[in-house]
Amino acid sequence: MEFDLIETIRVRTQGVRPDVVLGVGDDAALLDVPAGQRLVACTDTMVEGVHFLPGTAPGDLGWKSLAVNLSDLAAMGAEPAWALLALTLPTADARFVERFADGFAELARAHGVALVGGDTTQGPLSVTVTALGTLPIGESLPRAGACAGDAIFVTGTLGDAVGALRLLRSRGPGTGERNPPEVALRARLNRPEPRVAAGLALRALANACIDVSDGLLADLGHVCAASGVGAEIDMEALPFSAELRAAFDEAACREFALSGGDDYELCFTAPAQRQAEIEARLTNAGCRVTRIGCIVAGTSVRALDANGNAIATPHAGWEHFTP
Ligand code: ADP
Ligand code: MG
């Protein structure tokens, strides 16, 4: 049964990459890393009831389990190449695995990623993906590179995924399917688009970068802590989608952007005088970018209103093991 499931996954995710010397089927995969490049590795787990609602469509789960990892690679400026998939399932549900693998494969194909191995076990539903990519030596986008005086930028729009979750929680699944703004928000929650092209465009341009998975305050806080600096966010500048604005008032949009999670946009810092170059490169990469504040001396991340006064910020982002 286990091997039927693995075969189901294998046939659906077969990508052709000449650098896969040996993929699914042996004890471990053999991969060629190009000369002059570093291997970039990350992993993320999604547990039912913790990271996704019970009843989430299997195809969406397959997509998102890879997307959150490609987002981590993007935040390093890496080019994704390979992935491994550890799948824990309550039962050997072939139909579930087919749909899961189709969703996974759709995103993998879009980014030229080959699934090269994994593990299949029985237990409470949980998905762990490991993503591997490459990066020219010396061109990574670490968290620790932010300097006082840098401008802070964010790709795309913030808050959509948490907005979708809020609507789902209040109305229940199976509702809102015919409401266009809600459909668009739900797509942001279920099928986030990792900012891979933006990450590549920011190589040797951004000083520091992180993907926004736990909310802007928390994630920008990580950049500041790693870099030994503080930050000021201009609340008026935060980018929201038309769909989020249609469904929520300004205060809710701001709260979602600051402390919601699951946006998978990139937040990065760069010298302010490079703004035009950044805008040109990201537009080229098909990605909206907004300047949302500046890096300052100190250690605190503050949100400022239109008059430059600090405003009370809601609790920071998601953390596991919080008592
Ligand atoms: P082993 O006992 O050596 O760990 P497994 O029986 O777990 O091997 O897996 C057999 C092969 O199938 C290995 O190449 C493994 O990488 C691959 N594999 C297992 N589960 C998955 C999965 N969910 N996705 C992709 N490849 C998988
Ligand atoms: Mg195994």
Interval 149-189: pLDDT, tens: 999 999 999 999 999 999 988 876 566 667 888 899 999 99
Dist. CA 4 → ligand 2 center (Å): 14
- The confidence score (pLDDT) of residue 315 equals 56
The pLDDT of 50-69, averaged and rounded, is 96
Pocket test for ligand 1, best of 2, 5, 6 (most atoms within 8 A of CB): 6
Look at residue 169 in the predicted model and tell me its pLDDT: 83
CA of 301 to the centre of ligand 1 (A): 44
The contacts of residue 314 (CB under 8 Å, 6+ apart) are 217, 255, 258, 259
The residue nearest atom 5 of ligand 1, judged by CA position, is: 119
What H or E segment, with its residue span, contains residue 232?
strand 230-234
Task: Identify the residue whose C-alpha is closest to ligand 1 atom 22.
Answer: 118
Statement: residue 135 has pLDDT above 60: yes
Q: What is the mean pLDDT of the chain?
A: 93
Mutate which of 120, 126, 130 for ligand 1 pocket (most atoms within 8 A of beta carbon): 120
DSSP states of 150-190 as a string?
EEEEEES-SSHHHHHHHHHHHH-TT-STT-HHHHHHHHHHH
- How many angstroms separate the alpha carbon of residue 14 from the centre of ligand 1? 14
The Cα 254–Cα 260 span in angstroms is 9
Strands (E), 29-167: 30-31, 37-47, 79-89, 114-122, 126-136, 150-155
Q: How many residues belong to the chain? A: 323
Domains of the chain: 2-136 (3.30.1330.10), 143-304 (3.90.650.10)
Q: Mind listing the pLDDT tens digit for each residue in 226-283?
A: 999 999 999 999 999 999 999 999 999 999 999 988 999 999 999 999 999 999 999 9
pLDDT digit string, tens, across residues 188-220: 999 999 999 999 999 999 999 999 999 999 999
- Integer Cα distance of 304 and 22 in angstroms: 53
Q: Any residues with Cβ below 6 Å from ligand 1, and which?
A: 6, 9, 24-27, 85, 87, 115, 117-120
Query: Ligand 1 atom 27: the closest Cα is on which residue?
Result: 118
Atom of ligand 1 nearest to the CA of 23: 14
Ligand 1 atom closest to the CA of 26, numbered from 1:
14
User: How confident is the model at residue 281, as a pLDDT?
Assistant: 97
| Three-state secondary-structure class, residue 43 | strand
Question: pTM for this one?
Answer: 0.95
Which amino acid would we find at residue 184?
A
Percent of the chain with pLDDT over 90: 86
23 C-alpha to center of ligand 2: Å?
A: 14
Q: How far apart are CA 260 and CA 60, in angstroms?
A: 20
223: nearest Cα among 125, 295, 131: 295
Q: How remote is the CA of residue 133 from the centroid of ligand 1, in Å?
A: 20
List of residues 6+ apart from 188 with CB closer than 8 A: 160, 161, 164, 241, 262, 263
Ordered DSSP codes for 245-302: HHHS-HHHHHHHHHH-----EEEEEEEGGGHHHHHHHHHHTT--EEEEEEEESSS-EE
* CA 289, chain centre distance (Å): 16
- Is the CB of residue 234 less than 8 Å from the CB of residue 292? yes
Band (15; pLDDT cuts 50, 70, 90): confident
